[in-house]
Amino acid sequence: MAAIFAFKCSCCDEIHEGSPSFGFKAPDQYTSLSEDQKSQMAVLSEDFCTITHSEGTDRFIRAVLEISILGVEQPFLWGVWVSLSEKSFNRYKDTYNEPVIGESLFGWVCNTIRFYPYAHPRPADVVIQGARSRPLVVLHRGEPEDDPLVIDQVQGISVAKAQELAERALHEA
């Protein structure tokens, strides 16, 4: 049976228990807007975001990117926003309360996880989970195949790396 993740933080000396989980409140495209632009162009809720501009409308949903921690029961979780096409966004909204479990939509991860720098949005499949569960992000393997986030999602991470990521996420501004 796998262990539960817990560690003594080297930054604050506290014991942290449970699966590390860090999330973004909005897609990067939304956070880069001024307050005036947000009020004029954007709508943000807990699970949906739209930004309407001269070129069209960008549509985003909130999802979860899991990274297995080797030997630990629960994964490391990143709560990210994913952009979807209009058709996929509408499909997801239309079936939100009665999801088609296992359905997969194509999207782009629209948050920069600073510990995993990447020059562009990452392509991903967004796999629908049960009702009231955020979709699961499965990153695409691509060229080059050396994206550390993709590698970590595919192979999992050590407890030491999970602790390092959690400490940095908790204590770095």
Q: Per residue in 144-165, pLDDT tens?
A: 667 899 999 999 999 999 988 9
The residue length of the chain stands at: 173
CA 51, CA 35: separation in Å to the nearest integer? 13
**Which of 17-21, 69-73, 78-82 shows the highest mean pLDDT?**
78-82
Look at residue 143 in the predicted model and tell me its pLDDT. 64
Which amino acid, 76? F
Percent of the chain with pLDDT over 70: 96
What's the mean pLDDT when you consider all of the chain?
A: 91
Determine the 3-state secondary structure of 66 from DSSP.
strand
Residue matched to tokens 């390092």: 164
- pTM for the structure as a whole: 0.91
| Residues in a beta bridge with 72 | 3
Q: What is the mean pLDDT of residues 5-10?
A: 80
CA 82, CA 122: separation in Å to the nearest integer? 9
User: For residue 38, which phi and psi values (nearest 5 degrees)?
Assistant: -60, -45
User: For residue 34, which phi and psi values (nearest 5 degrees)?
Assistant: -70, 165
Q: What is the mean pLDDT of residues 87-96?
A: 95
Pairing of strands 15-17, 104-109: unpaired
CA 155, CA 149: separation in Å to the nearest integer? 10
| Residues in a beta bridge with 84 | 59
CA 126, CA 141: separation in Å to the nearest integer? 14
Look at residue 44 in the predicted model and tell me its pLDDT. 98
CA 72, CA 159: separation in Å to the nearest integer? 8
Closest CA to 126 of 100, 98, 104, 102: 104
Look at residue 1 in the predicted model and tell me its pLDDT. 46
